[in-house]
Amino acid sequence: MSGSIRRVLVANRGEIAVRIVHACRELGIETVLAVSEADRDSLGARLADRAVCIGPPRAPQSYLDVARIVTAAVATGCDAVHPGYGFLSESPALARACTEHGLTFVGPTAAQLEAMGDKISARRLAREAGVPTLPGSEQVRTPQEALAVAREVGLPLIVKASAGGGGRGMKVVSDVAELPSVLTTAAAEAAAAFGDPTLYVERFVRNARHVEVQVLGDRHGHVVHLGERDCSLQRRNQKVVEEAPAPGLPLQVRDALHAAAVRLARRIGYESAGTVEFVLDRDTGEFFFLEMNTRIQVEHPVTELVTGIDLVQQQLRVAAGEPLAFGQCDVVHRGHAIECRITAEVPSADFRPDAGRITAWDPPGGPNVRVDTHCVPGYLVPVYYDSLLAKLIVYAPTRAEAIARARSALRRFGIEGVRTTVGFLDFLVGRPEFADATMTTHTIADALGEFAPADAA
C-alpha cells in the first residue's frame, strides 16, 4: 500500500474496531483507537498501537462527538479516520471536519454521504439512474398528503424517516384512519433519533425479501460489484442472519440487481465500499431500491468469504487514493457463506437487551469458521451501546453444507454470564423456511412464538 496513510484513528468500538485494527496491521498502518471511559480496557484498546479516551460512556459525549473525534486524531498524529459502521460512519459533518483538518476520511465524500443519507434524495437519484423505486412520495407534511398517496398507490403503506436507519422512524399503515397518529409518532421518533422529523411514504411489500448488493468505487471512476447478500431474516427491521450469495434468485433478477447497484454508484461517482439495498417482492418477482448504506456493513464478512476480497483493506486503499486493483471480470464467487449476529438479548422477551459480565467465552473453531468479536472471558457487557457480541461466519462449498456448519458452530459456542441469542439462531437457521430459502422479512416475527429456550422454566 502507498504511504499516504501511516496512522489511522479508529473512531468506533466493539467487533468492528477490532476488525479495522487487524486490517490496518496487515497493511503496515499504525492504529489509534478512540475509546470511551467504558471501553478503556476493551480488546480493541489492547490490540491497537495506542488508545485515547475521548469522553464518558454515553455515545453523544464520545463516539458521536465530531469535535472529540477530530481532536483525538490530530493530537495523536493520525493521517486518517476510519468510522466503522454506526455512530458517525455516515456523517457528512465528520467527513467535512476531517478534510478541514487535513485528515483522510475512510469512506465516501461528504457530498455523497449527504446525497444518499437523505432517503428522499436517494430515491430521486435512483430514479435518475434508472433504478426501480417503490411507488410513493416526496416529503409528506400532513395526513392529507399521505392520504393522497394512499389513494394513488394503495395500502398498506410504510412511513419512513428521510434521515432514518436501523428501523427507527418506520411505521406500517394498513388503515387510513391510522395515518394521522402514525405520522405524529414517526416524526417524533425521527426527530429524537436523527434530529430531523422529515417523513415520506412508500408502498409496503408484505411478502418481501431483503437483498443487497456490495459495491466498491474509487476516485478514478472505477465501480465494481461484489455480488449480493440476502438479509431477509430481521427483527424490528434489524438484520439477524445474512448470507451470500442470495439463494434462489433467477439469473436475470440477479444480473439486474447487480447492474442497478453499479448504475447508482456510478451516478454519484461513488468512492469506497457501499451497499445498495433492495426489497424483492416474492409475489411478483419485482425488485425496488430501498436505500444505499455509505459505509462498511456489519455483514461484510460473508462477501469477503465468497470473493476472497478484504473489504476493509479496500476501503483503506481507496481512501489513500489508489485505484481498484481489479475489474469486474476479476471478481469470482465461490461457495456459500452465512453470518449469524450473536447479541446479548432475550429473544423470548421481545429481544430485551441483557448486560453483565461474561464469565465464560468459548467460541467455536475449525476450518471455515470465523468469529469476529471484541469479547473475552471477564468482559463486562455495557448498557450504553448496541448489544452485538460477535458475528459467527461460516463458509462451505454449498448452501446446505454452510447451514449444517453454522448450526454445528452455534451449538459449540459457549457463553456464560449474559443471556444471548445463540440458541435462537440455531432454531432460526434450522427452520424449514431457511432451508428452502422461502424466508421473508416477517419470518422471525411469525416463528418467534415457536421458540422454546433451553433454559426456560
Task: List, for residues 136-183, the tens digit of each pLDDT value.
Answer: 999 998 889 888 998 998 999 999 999 877 667 788 999 989 889 999
State residue 166's pLDDT score. 65
**Pairing between β-strand 30-36 and β-strand 50-55 as defined by DSSP bridges:** parallel
Residue 287's pLDDT band (cuts 50, 70, 90): very high
Residue 81: closest CA among 54, 65, 50, 103: 103
State residue 373's pLDDT score. 98
State residue 452's pLDDT score. 84
**Rounded to 5°, angle at Cα 223 from 134 and 136:** 10
State residue 453's pLDDT score. 82
pLDDT digits (tens, 9 = 90+) for 94-103: 999 999 999 9
Task: Answer whether residue 454 shows pLDDT above 80.
Answer: no
State residue 169's pLDDT score. 73
Task: Please identify which residue in the block is written with the cell numbers 433467477.
Answer: 250
Please give the average per-residue pLDDT across 333-350, as a whole number. Answer: 97
Percent of the chain with pLDDT over 70: 98
State residue 105's pLDDT score. 98
Containing H/E element for 55?
strand 50-55
Please give the average per-residue pLDDT across 57-61, as a whole number. Answer: 96
- Grid cell locating 319: 481512501
State residue 234's pLDDT score. 96
* Distance of alpha carbon 262 from the chain centroid: 19
Task: Answer whether residue 2 shows pLDDT above 60.
Answer: no
Residues marked active site are found at 295
Distance CA 89, CA 92 (A): 9
**Pairing between β-strand 7-10 and β-strand 30-36 as defined by DSSP bridges:** parallel
pLDDT digits (tens, 9 = 90+) for 182-230: 999 998 888 887 888 999 999 999 999 999 999 999 999 999 999 999 9
pLDDT digits (tens, 9 = 90+) for 343-367: 999 999 999 999 999 999 999 999 9
Using DSSP's 3-state secondary structure scheme, residue 399 falls into helix
Residue, of 319 and 175, whose pLDDT is higher: 319
The answer to whether 161 and 194 are in contact (CB under 8 A) is yes
Residue 353: closest CA among 323, 384, 375: 384
State residue 195's pLDDT score. 84
Q: Over 94-123, what HEC string results?
A: HHHHHHHCCCEECCCCHHHHHHHHCHHHHH
Residue 124 φ then ψ, to 5°: -65, -45
Mean pLDDT of the chain: 95
Distance CA 117, CA 319 (A): 20
Query: CB under 8 Å to 336, separation ≥6 — which residues?
Result: 243, 244, 245, 306, 395, 396, 397, 398, 399, 401, 402
Residue 456's pLDDT band (cuts 50, 70, 90): very low
State residue 89's pLDDT score. 97
State residue 457's pLDDT score. 35
Task: Give the chain's radius of gyration (CA, Å).
Answer: 21
* Lowest mean pLDDT segment, chosen from 13-22, 296-305, 420-429, 446-455: 446-455
The answer to whether 48 and 32 are in contact (CB under 8 A) is yes
Q: Assign residue 25 a region: left if phi > 0, alpha if psi is -120 to 50, beta otherwise?
A: alpha
Distance CA 27, CA 19 (A): 13
pTM exceeds 0.85 for this model: yes
Distance CA 188, CA 179 (A): 14
Using DSSP's 3-state secondary structure scheme, residue 42 falls into coil
Q: Over 218-263, what HEC string results?
A: CCCCCEEEEEEEEEEEEECCEEEEEEECCCCCCHHHHHHHHHHHHH
Task: Please give the domain boundaries of the chain with CATH numbers for all domains.
Answer: 7-106 (3.40.50.20), 135-203 (3.30.1490.20), 208-450 (3.30.470.20)
Task: Please identify which residue in the block is written with the cell numbers 471512476.
Answer: 221
The answer to whether 297 and 275 are in contact (CB under 8 A) is yes
Distances (CA, A) of 219 to 184, 216, 245, 273, 318: 42, 11, 27, 12, 7
pLDDT digits (tens, 9 = 90+) for 371-394: 999 999 999 999 999 999 999 999
